[in-house]
């Protein structure tokens, strides 16, 4: 663990409030702490901020993920725990169990880390997870995505705040340089660990990091790259306002997940608006955290906009199928089963989790075990009753179905009648709650 000599930290109460003031309403905050400079600085600053707030401050919970990829990780997690004990912040080490990837290691490790951190945060009643991405991270993200040929949304970089299914991901240090964070730790004698993988040139981010000095000479400083990302994000937000308006007129959303999309709107909206609309459809229906890569999305967009020739297309696990020959612009969009079909999950009373990345289930009040499968796997006798007129049955075959051991089954998305309380009635009847992971299009 590294420590260094004293230097002024320079973080005033006003700056702390500027960084964290928007988060006063949270009751509990989870902090991802790897032990590196960035996360240790975030932990220290949050602790300082909550102490200044006093009794009304959010509670802090720190979590460290041991990916099992480096032998030093055990020692690092122990060091973080020791420092958290010193700060009187509860700490827990999370283990990434299972077979490790041989390729795309950083991406897979990041996905696993985020999943573990979110689950731990929710288990401890935290409404938000704070991560320590800083100014240089934003610049590296911008350059990485620029190299991929990303558009407006990709070049918007890392967002400061993001809400996923009511859970908040917060990155308050995006405007703060790593130099300043390191100076803080040096000034306050806060220990940290250096991860050798941060210098491994096999990773693209490391190459951009090492090239930053040359970019600075050309005027492409981390600050300017970050400023550009911020302006791209502003433009992306403006586009989304327009997309919302177009979606309201052109999309019909069914409670089971499928969407009926009138692509005639693509004839009069700018391509950037249409692309974003189609991308959001794919993300919404598939349950994915992100939209597909722009190049692939452009290919699907061209098919939908043409309205002739191809009568079906697939992207990101979502099937787009034309309605009828005389309705050339009407597409039904739904989750595709794929080669392996839909997952099946056995649920015991009290269990909760996510099915197919799309539906969150809770069996808090269920007295029976049951299985979650898809309508495609086991059709119900009243399946046809749940399908509205002018919608194809195939669009609903990947919708969830709950099956009890005695053979009784029901579709949690199917309405009994036509009132808004239908889903609640079924939830009370069976003691099971099953709702889309995200209701936000």
- Annotated binding site: which residue ranges? 34-39
Tell me what percent of the chain is helix, strand and coil, each rounded to the nearest 5.
45, 20, 40
Q: Are 323 and 344 in contact (CB under 8 A)?
A: no
DSSP 57-99: SPEEEEEEEE-SS-TTHHHHHHHHHHHHHHHT--EEEEE--SP
Q: Between β-strands 59-66 and 91-95, what pairing exists: parallel, antiparallel or unpaired?
A: parallel
Q: Which of 324, 242, 240 is nearest to 283 (CA)?
A: 240
Distance CA 16, CA 46 (A): 8
Secondary element (H or E) of residue 401 = strand 400-404
Planar angle of CA 36, 46, 70, nearest 5 degrees: 20
Distance in angstroms (rounded) separating the CA atoms of residues 374 and 380: 10
d(CA 110, CA 290) in angstroms, rounded, equals 14
Detail the residues annotated as belonging to a binding site for ATP. 34-39
**251 - beta bridge partners?**
261
């Amino acid at each position: 663990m590294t420590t260094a000599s004293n230097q002024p930290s320079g973080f005033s109460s006003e700056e702390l409030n500027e960084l964290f003031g928007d988060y006063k309403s949270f009751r509990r905050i989870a902090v991802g702490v790897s032990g590196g400079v960035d996360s240790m600085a975030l932990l220290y600053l949050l602790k300082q901020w909550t102490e200044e707030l006093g009794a009304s401050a959010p509670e802090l919970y720190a979590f460290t993920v041991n990916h099992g990829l480096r032998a030093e990780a055990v020692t690092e997690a122990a060091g973080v725990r020791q420092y958290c004990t010193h700060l009187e912040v509860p700490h827990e080490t999370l283990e990434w169990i299972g077979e490790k990837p041989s390729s795309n290691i950083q991406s897979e490790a990041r996905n696993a880390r985020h999943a573990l951190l979110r689950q731990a945060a929710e288990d401890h009643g935290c409404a938000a997870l704070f991560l320590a991405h800083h100014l240089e991270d934003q610049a590296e993200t911008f350059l990485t995505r620029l190299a991929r040929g990303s558009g407006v949304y990709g070049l918007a970089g890392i967002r400061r705040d993001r809400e996923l299914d009511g859970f908040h991901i917060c990155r308050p240090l995006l405007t703060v340089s790593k130099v300043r964070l390191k100076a803080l730790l040096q000034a306050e004698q806060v220990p940290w660990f250096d991860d050798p993988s941060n210098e491994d040139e096999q990773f693209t981010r490391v190459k951009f990091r090492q090239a930053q000095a040359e970019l600075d000479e050309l005027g492409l400083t981390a600050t300017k790259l970050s400023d550009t990302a911020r302006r791209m994000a502003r433009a992306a937000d403006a586009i989304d306002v327009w997309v919302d308006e177009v979606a309201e007129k052109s999309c019909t959303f069914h409670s089971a997940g499928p969407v009926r999309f009138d692509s005639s709107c693509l004839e009069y909206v700018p391509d950037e608006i249409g692309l974003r609309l189609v991308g959001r459809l794919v993300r919404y229906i598939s349950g994915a955290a992100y939209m597909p890569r722009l190049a692939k999305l452009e290919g699907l967009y061209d098919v939908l906009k043409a309205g002739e020739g191809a009568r079906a297309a697939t992207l990101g696990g979502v099937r787009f199928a034309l309605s009828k020959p005389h309705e050339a612009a009407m597409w039904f969009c739904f989750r595709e089963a794929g080669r392996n079909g839909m997952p099946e999950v056995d649920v015991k009373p009290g269990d909760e989790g996510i099915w197919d990345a799309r539906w969150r289930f809770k069996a808090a009040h269920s007295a029976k075990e049951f299985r979650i499968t898809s309508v495609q796997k086991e059709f119900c006798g009243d399946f046809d009753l749940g399908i509205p007129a002018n919608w194809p049955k195939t669009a609903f075959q990947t919708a969830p179905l709950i099956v009890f051991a005695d053979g009784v089954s029901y579709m949690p998305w199917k309405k009994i009648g036509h009132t808004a309380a239908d889903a609640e009635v079924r939830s009370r009847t069976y003691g099971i709650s099953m709702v889309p992971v995200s209701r936000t299009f």
